Each structure stands twice: as structure tokens, then as C-alpha cells.
Amino acid sequence: MSPRRQDDSFEQLVEALLADEQYQGHPLREALALLWQHTREQLVRLERVTHISDRYQNVAQEQARSMAERYHRQLRQIEKITRISDRYQGMLQDLNNALKEASTHDALTGLPNRRLLTECMKQEDGRGGDYALAVIDADRFKRVNDDHGHETGDRVLVALARTLKEGLREGDMCGRWGGEEFLALLPGIDAAVAAGVAERLLAGVRRLRVAVDGVELPITVSIGLARRRDGEGYHETLLRADAALLEAKRAGRDRCYVAGDGA
């Protein structure tokens, strides 16, 4: 017999004993009635407590589920914010790199600009080492712009930049000094090697051709070369290289003129 059916039979037995008139006045009937009433009251209290407990457990479970959902929702939000933050940091880094590149490199040719070249020459002065400066100027460049347009002129400058960069030694630097003028910084070099680098640059440019309307446009440059003297800053070396460039132009262009110690 199941526990539920046993409980029902017991209740029925007690109810029958209390209702039987033959037990009226029996000394144990009153005790049984009091015990039965007390038991019923206890059952009612127990059911109420059980109901309250069940309801509390349900509320607690709902709260636990709600807290878990809020936790996971916040966690997903934090993960989303972290991804956005990482992407934002990456964008900022890219922007900073682009700004740094724009501040130190020429937009057209991609070579170091005047600002970066100047900083590097100052650093070489600070080290006190030997270096040479080569000022390189495109010959008759105004005629290129006038006859073929500025777009062709830009193409010539880009091609020149690539050719000059390829002709340098490892560790040398070539940048756009301004307009059609370039500047090469040749650190740790003696006069003979510097002159050899300049001749290699001239030969590389002579082989360069820029196609314009089906015609190949020949390009040449003139170079003024000066090696730093003891106690001399880059300003003085640059002035001597500029003077040497003028001599190369006067001598017929497409050549290198080397500044002497007295120049």
C-alpha cells in the first residue's frame, strides 16, 4: 500500500473512532481528539511552511537565473566593448603611424622629406663621424613641366626617386629636398667612394626613360658632392655641396662636381 493510501486509511480510522457514539465519555476519546486536533494544526502549519519554502525557492531560483542572465549579458557587453576598444586602439595606431609617415616622408615620392633629412644630418653631426652630402637636381625639369604637363613632371620625379634610392649603398639615405631637388646623405664614406656612388647614380638616371605620348623622355641629373670637414656642421657641408651643384650645371649638366677642401 502506498504511503498516501496509508495516511488516508489512518485518518479515516481516527475520524471513525471519534464519531463512534459508543466511545462517547471514554477517557481516552478526549485525549485522542486533542491529539488529533493538534496533529491537524501541525499539518496545516507544516503545509504553510512548505508552501512558503517552495515559493521562496522559486523566487530564489528566479533571482539566480536573473542574476546569471545579467552576468552573462554584462559579460557579452564587456567582450563587445573590448573588441571595439581593440579595434579603436588599432585604428589610433594606424592613424599615428600615418601621421608620423606624413610628417617625415614626401607624399609624392615616398622618400624622406626635408625635415627627416635635417634630423638625420644633425644626428650625424652629433656623432662626429665622416659623411658626404650629394645635392641632386633634375636637369631642365621646368621644360618637362612646360612641354608635357605637371602630371608628367610628377611621374619623372617618382621615377627619379626610385632610381636614386636603388643606386645608393645600404645605410645611405636619399630624400626629396624640395621641388626637383634631392639630397643624399652618405655616412661613413671617404671621398673616392662618395664619388663612385655619385657616378653610379648618374649612370642609373641616364638609363631611365619615361614614356610620354609614345615617346621615351630621357632624364639626366646634375650632382654637387661635398664631404664633411672636421669641425664642420651640416649647414656648411650643404652650402659647399650646393656650390658644387652650380658648378656641375655650368659645366654642362649630367655630371657630378666634387667640392674641394677649399671650396
Q: Which residues are catalytic?
A: 180
Pairing of strands 131-138, 221-227: antiparallel
- String of b and e for 214-248 (b: at least 16 CB within 10 Å)? eeebebebbbbbbbbeeeeebeebbebbbebbebb
Q: Using CA atoms, how far apart are residues 169 and 29, in angstroms rounded to an integer? A: 121
**Which single residue is written with the C-alpha cell 651643384?**
245
Q: Going by C-beta distance under 8 Å and a sequence separation of 6 or more, which residues neighbour residue 168?
A: 174, 184, 186, 197, 201
Cell numbers representing residue 98 in the block: 600615418
**Which single residue is written with the C-alpha cell 625635415?**
115
Helix (H, G, I), strand (E, B) or coil at 256: strand
